[in-house]
Amino acid sequence: MALDSWMPIGLTLPDGEQVRIALQEGLNWQIYESKAGSRILVVKELLAKRWIESGLVDTSQLQIFSFSGDSYFEYSSSKEYVLSNLAQCKSPRNKNEALSFASSLKYSRGLDAQSSFHDAIYVERLSRLLPTFSLSPAVTDDVVFGSWLTGGVPVSVNSFRRLRTITKWLGASSLSDVIISGGFKVDEKGIRSNSNKTQGSKEKVNEVETKLSDDTTSPRQFQLAGRPELEQFFNEHVVDIVENEERYKTLGIEFPSAIILHGPPGCGKTFAVECLVDYLGWPSYQIEASSVASPYIHETSKKVAEVFEAAMKNSPSVLVIDEMEAFLADRQSGGGSSHHRVEEVAEFLRRIPEAIKNHVLIIAMTNRIEMIDPAILRRGRFDHVIKVDMASEEEVCALLNKLVSELPCEEDVNVNVLACQLAGRPLSDVAFAVRESARLSARAGHSKISQQSLMSALGSTQSRGNENADSRKIGFF
């Protein structure tokens, strides 16, 4: 679709460039191609003045001109340099282009500490990102950087492992250099594990590890507040294998095995998986009844296959099977639709080993482990079947301490009393108690959570399974 060009074809601008065609546009700017093939940025006076006032450019870098009674500013750049809106900008072709953008982002942020650069115009020749102040939601610099490196995938440069899987052309060591030159830190264990996977020679691997050996920082570990046993399991059977890939591979272990978490509703299965996915930084995919179940013959199996294919295509990734009893119940249980159930279970039986070989971490969750088909539960498909019970008093106390540490609290706050009464309850009740105490404090005009507000919140956090006639009732008569 042709743009509604502000400037007519052939118009000569103050620097001698002649307009040929409009390429990109926003509310107060347009980018043109000149007859000589260069790029021309034309902005309205209001936007140009905001850049000048913020110190991103000065008046000597822009040339002012009038057209049809309005004032405009223009900047021309030869085609050897990028001049493009980030939303329409191609990802870099080599390390030098990536370093150029990194330095531009860092330098621009030093000039303007407030503006969001997600909608910016990248002027490589000036080493600038010029924000256009659109109405779209602001995005942090780490995601702006990651999106540009990947050609539009909204991934943070702080998620090194995930970013590495998308930008394999760059190499782990080069990607690290680019990220650091942009002013960001790099997860060094991620560099080591990915370098071991992709570097073609031992010398390059040793070079990366030598750089890391100078750092005395202790290794980063996955943490799961309130669930130390589950945290230890994930660290031993998932995280350590991922982050020490070469060591495990020499002993025949290519990738973490599939996992089942089972236990009563509210025990924290979903929360634990979400924390692990966030730690790994990999793309995640989900199979649940609301997204793949279908009343039509073969349709459910087809949708399941599509999710597995997407996860394998973007590996390493995580595939979460929620409420697995909806798909993987015992085929011998009978019922009118049992032949469809057989087909669905067979699809999972075929896909699970294939996905693991293609570096897809599979985690399934269920409240009804006794309903699952025995063929699914055998080792080789799901090696680990982990029971997750309701949290103990010590685990609830650890979770409460983490939750209140993230909020302003009075010095006398002691969560031990709450932990005693919330033990054995769903973790959602624990989170609700803290959230309710914050609401009560704000309603009372206080800026901090107090012990009194916590105890008041505890009184309103009744177990849903033991509500009595005194529970609050709201209705119409």
Condensed to tens digits (0 to 9), the pLDDT of residues 324-365 reads 877 777 656 554 445 455 667 777 888 888 989 999 999 988
The arithmetic mean of pLDDT across residues 54-69, rounded, is 92
Count of beta carbons in the 10 Å neighbourhood of residue 285: 22
Domain with CATH 3.40.50.300 in the chain: 228-387
pLDDT of 307 higher than 50 = yes
Domain with CATH 1.10.8.60 in the chain: 393-463
**CA–CA separation, 206 and 192 (whole Å):** 9
DSSP assignment, residue 392?
-
Contact, 117 vs 141, CB < 8 A?
yes
Higher pLDDT, 79 or 294: 79
Give the pLDDT score at 341.
58
Would you identify the CATH topology of the domain 228-387? Rossmann fold (3.40.50)
Condensed to tens digits (0 to 9), the pLDDT of residues 454-469 reads 888 887 766 555 444 3
Query: 427-443 vs 393-405: helix axis angle to the nearest 10?
Result: 40
Q: Which two tokens stand for residue 294?
A: 């279908």
DSSP 111-151: H-SSS--TT-EEEGGGTEEE----SSPP--HHHHHHHHHHT
Contact, 382 vs 237, CB < 8 A?
no
Angle of CA points 395, 401, 405, to nearest 5°: 150
- 317-321: strand order across its sheet: 284-287, 317-321, 360-366, 258-262, 382-387
pLDDT band, very low/low/confident/very high, at 426 (cuts 50, 70, 90): confident
pLDDT band, very low/low/confident/very high, at 398 (cuts 50, 70, 90): confident
pTM to 2 decimal places? 0.51
Give the pLDDT score at 428.
74
Distances (CA, A) of 327 to 139, 186, 309, 370: 38, 40, 18, 14
Give the pLDDT score at 209.
41
The arithmetic mean of pLDDT across residues 274-283, rounded, is 82
Would you identify the CATH topology of the domain 393-463? Helicase, Ruva Protein; domain 3 (1.10.8)
What percent of the chain has pLDDT above 70?
83
Q: Which of 275-279, 302-306, 343-347, 385-389 has the lowest mean pLDDT?
A: 343-347
Q: How do beta strands 121-123 and 83-85 pair?
A: antiparallel
Architecture of domain 19-77: 2-Layer Sandwich (3.30)
The arithmetic mean of pLDDT across residues 59-83, rounded, is 93
Give the pLDDT score at 195.
43
